[in-house]
Amino acid sequence: MHIVQLYKDYPPIQGGIENHLRLLSEGLANRGHRVTVVFVAPGRHGWQMERNGVTLIATPRLFTLARAPISLPLLWLIRRLQPDLIHFHHPYPFGDLALLALPTPLVVTYHSDIVRQRVLGRLTAPIVEQTLRRAARIITSSPALVDSSRWLARHRERVRVVPFGIPPMPLPDSRLVTALRHRFPRPNALFVGRLRYYKGVDRLIRALTLLPYGHAIIVGGDATVRGIDLIRLAADVGVADRVHVLGAVDNATLRALYAIADVFVLPSVARSEAFGIVQIEAQQAGLPVICTELGTGTTYVNLHRRTGLVVPPDNHEALAQALHDLWQNPDRARAFGLAGRERAATEFSLDRMLSRIEAVYAEALTTATVL
């Protein structure tokens, strides 16, 4: 089957959707499918290449509007490819335009609501609704997102829940683990993710002000928030010596940081955080997780009092209490971590995700044939 995956970006652009798209595309190619990924190039020149069994087509970027790249060739390229099925990854409003009037069977992964760009959201609402109406099947990552999203509620009968899956992380380098243990005192809390406003990393820093001990290790490249601003905040509130902003790190260092951490924290404050794949990475490493209740999939991954603790968003007092509870109760934290490792291996494996998505594709093609 020839499958076209459509989104705005693709690795090496970093992000949760981008990394999921790579794992999905390469995984489907390994299972014998012909996979083409269409996205927008970082610059004004398009290109095409084969990578790990996947055909990558990057169309030239004309400009960017509200973080959405605009590329006119995208409007006619997919029609020319004539795939058996299109898998579109929402949100990307310009991609919705490219799908107008295409007869090809369509599957949409609804990654998250459009939250911050409210004006853009209102302007693009009709075309997003048109895409969702036309889709043979809509994939979302958790039951909570189905229940809480007004967009998905209208199309519930065609929605299928397929949680994200990732491959097992390789074991960390023991020498690097030893070196990082000497560098970062315990107890510590680890955050991993692009530094965006909705990640709520400043709440983690403020939580430390309510505790006389403990450190935060913050990993992630600049986005809508800058690392230097987090460093300044830590100095302003008096915890500069306990906050370690590392920026982006390589995979070997990241694995070692998971190995030395005591707790993983995802302190997100907005529904743009629809799942939190980094929580699965933390669970694979055997870490207890603290996340926030957003009405999305964050608490589908991290189960309260089973794999970690769930706190209200934008509440650094509650976050501080959760950190204190886990740091002061290592046996409880270890039990949460072991339960999380088991959940990651069973519910969030890459093979299981690929099989579930292939089943959704089969449903979509059957529906299109009947129609």
Sign of CA dihedral 165, 170, 176, 177: positive
Distance CA 231, CA 245 (A): 7
pLDDT tens for each residue of the chain, 371 residues long: 999 999 999 999 888 899 999 999 999 999 999 999 999 999 999 999 999 999 999 999 999 887 789 999 999 998 899 999 999 999 999 999 999 989 999 999 999 887 665 655 577 789 999 999 999 999 999 999 999 898 898 899 999 999 999 999 999 999 999 999 999 999 999 999 999 999 999 999 999 999 999 999 999 998 899 999 999 999 999 999 999 999 999 999 999 999 999 999 999 999 989 999 999 999 999 999 999 999 999 999 999 999 999 999 999 999 999 999 999 999 999 999 999 999 999 999 999 999 999 999 999 999 865 54
Domain identity same for 357 and 343: no
Distance CA 115, CA 121 (A): 8
Count Cβ atoms within 10 A of the Cβ of residue 71 and give its class: 0-12 exposed, 13-18 middle, 19 or more buried: buried
Helix axes 16-30, 350-370, angle to 10 degrees: 80
Domain identity same for 236 and 289: yes
Helix axes 251-260, 174-183, angle to 10 degrees: 60
Domain identity same for 287 and 326: yes
Instruction: Say which CATH number the domain at 59 has.
Output: 3.40.50.2000
Domain identity same for 205 and 56: no
Number of domains in the chain: 2
Domain identity same for 159 and 182: no
Helix axes 201-208, 227-236, angle to 10 degrees: 20
Distance CA 219, CA 230 (A): 12
Domain identity same for 281 and 363: no
Domain encompassing residue 356:
2-166+349-370
The CA-CA-CA angle for residues 307, 310, 230, to 5°, reads: 110
Domain identity same for 266 and 157: no
Name 127's Cβ contacts closer than 8 Å, sequence gap at least 6: 93, 96, 97, 100
Domain identity same for 151 and 194: no
Domain identity same for 85 and 218: no
Residue 60 token pair: 């030239």
Domain identity same for 115 and 196: no
> Helical H runs in 100-250?
118-134, 143-148, 150-153, 174-183, 201-208, 227-236
Could you tell me which of 227, 256, 193 has the C-alpha nearest to residue 18?
193
Distance CA 201, CA 196 (A): 9
Q: Residue 237: what residue type? A: V
Place of tokens 């853009």: 120
pTM of the model: 0.90
Domain identity same for 181 and 219: yes
Domain identity same for 142 and 221: no
What single-letter DSSP state applies at residue 199? G
